[in-house]
Structure 1
Amino acid sequence: MQEFKIAVAQIPSAKGRIEQNIQTHIEAVECASAHAVSMIVFPELSLTGYEPQLADRLAITVGDARLQPFRDLAVQHRLCVVIGAPLKTDDRPEIGAIIFYPNGKTDSYAKMHLHPGEECYFRPGNTLKLLDVQNQSVALAICADTNSPLHARACADKGASVYVAGALIGGNGYAADTEKLSNYAREYKMLVTMANHNQPTGNWKPIGKSAAWDHSGCLAVASESAKALVISQQIDGHWQSQVVALSSGA
């Protein structure tokens, strides 16, 4: 059986350009497959960019026909793909993660903890999401979820061995936010890894620096502006991580 590897993708997102962003995502998935990755996770709202005012118009369902390439890639490469997108509901959209499984099935997770102001455009989710991927229990988080110690604790209580977040983190918040992530890794003996944007989106200037931590501290961190994957795997009982550059076209 292939060993479990998880990648977080640090990529830019063009404002509202879903088709263009799909191509950027595909290139990252192909790179992950070339490195035998089992699961790849993208930043918060990676498919549309972080555009709250446009979210209602841009919101999609997991069955959107434009997402077929992700279904195909997940099956073809036998990996789990998790992209960020606003999800349609009968109310305000949710800040979602759409999950494509290697068996062709799809699923979703909705951000449970909203930043102040997001409630004007989005509604919160109310259910944790843990995935069983090659004998690892992987808990999904989206940005402000990670600021709530209760979210990480609940995932750990449910047996999560990996805690992965799609995020949008700027320079002013990076130190405090990543200190929390590092603390979760140490306290709950989980691999914690985070995918951040590397170019401005909405009114935010993300700082990149996607990273991975285990109980001993930071394992790897990307630069501020690079298009890259941070890939983590467990070798002889210890987590190891590396940064892999994406091509200039990714």
Structure 2
Amino acid sequence: MTALTLAAAQTISIPGNVPANIQRHLAFMQAAAQQGAQLLVFPELSLTGYEPSLAERLAITPDAVQLRPLREKARDLRLTAVVGMPIRPSPDADVMIGALVLGADGSLAVYAKQHLHPGEEVAFVAGPGGEALKLGGEQIALAVCADFTHASHPRAAVHAGASVYAAAVLISEGGYAKDCAQLQGYAAEHGLLVLMANHGGPSGGWASAGRSAVWAANGQLLAAVPGVGEALLVARRDNGVWAGQVVVF
């Protein structure tokens, strides 16, 4: 079995400042590549912050030119990056919560959040999800926050062949214990490696808990960022065995 390295970026987004957030994403991509990562997952709506009131104004089509620096960086580093952004399938379409998959080969794919939190329907519509990624012999299913609170979501991913479940989230301190217990449970129940990328600071009025984490397929916690702030969480598979590491950013 070939070696594989996955990473979660625990970032702090500047509300609505897409150019500044892009620059921060580029730095995280460089750091992940230096750790040998083939995949880097950012938190929910990482490029704008979790700012529903700004989504209508900031929403883009997935192929928008402003993402070019990120797409070029992904290609140059041979790193697939999953970044969060409000998206419209077409210029006049409703806004969805997108996780844009910027491929190491220059490709572009879209995952659109399927399950909305109560209240998100004011700014967003539910999306269709998206295809799993294939890396290093693993099939990696994506989720965006409330998606994972529906047990049917990871179950469907497993039935489709997923062995890794990667969730881009905004989890506050109050919900952290419950949400992590759910993610850990999926790892144990379905035999999934579960990777969770959380915001490292407040966003949209929510005080994020940070503590991005990765669980092995038996539910064992491999590594977790100790708190808030920016950090890189790395999961490495070597000789078929996964291990986790936190890199302070």
TM-score range, shorter chain: over 0.9
Question: In the alignment, which residue of structure 1 is the partner of 2:231?
Answer: 228
When structure 1 is superposed on structure 2, of 234-243 and 108-117 the one drifting more is 234-243
Question: In the alignment, which residue of structure 2 is the partner of 1:73?
Answer: 73
Q: Give, in angstroms, the shift of residue 234 of structure 1.
A: 1.6
SS of the residue corresponding to residue 7 of structure 1 reads strand
Distance in 1 between the 2:53 and 2:98 partners?
16
Q: 2:244 aligns with which of 207, 231, 241?
A: 241
Question: In the alignment, which residue of structure 1 is the partner of 2:172?
Answer: 170
Distance in 2 between the 1:127 and 1:13 partners?
24
Distance in 2 between the 1:235 and 1:164 partners?
19
The verdict on how the C-alpha distance between 1:25 and 1:145 changes in structure 2, with shifts beyond 3 A counting, is same
When structure 1 is superposed on structure 2, of 24-33 and 228-237 the one drifting more is 228-237
Q: Give, in angstroms, the shift of residue 2 of structure 1.
A: 7.0
1:115-154 pair list within 5 angstroms: 115-154=117-156
In the alignment, structure 2 segments of 5+ residues that lack a partner are none
Question: In the alignment, which residue of structure 1 is the partner of 2:46?
Answer: 46
1:87-102 pair list within 5 angstroms: 87-89=87-89, 90-102=92-104
Q: Give, in angstroms, the shift of residue 134 of structure 1.
A: 2.2
- Percent identity over paired residues: 42
SS of the residue corresponding to residue 121 of structure 2 reads helix
Distance in 1 between the 2:98 and 2:199 partners?
16
Amino acid at match of 1:177: D
In the alignment, structure 1 segments of 5+ residues that lack a partner are none
RMSD between superposed Cα atoms in Å: 1.3
Distance in 1 between the 2:244 and 2:75 partners?
25
Which deviations, in whole Å up to 9, do the C-alpha atoms of 1:67-102 show, x marking residues without a partner? 111111111111101100000244321000011111
Distance in 2 between the 1:34 and 1:49 partners?
26
TM-score by length of 2: 0.96
Q: Give, in angstroms, the shift of residue 144 of structure 1.
A: 0.4
Question: In the alignment, which residue of structure 2 is the partner of 1:189?
Answer: 191
The verdict on how the C-alpha distance between 1:35 and 1:3 changes in structure 2, with shifts beyond 3 A counting, is same
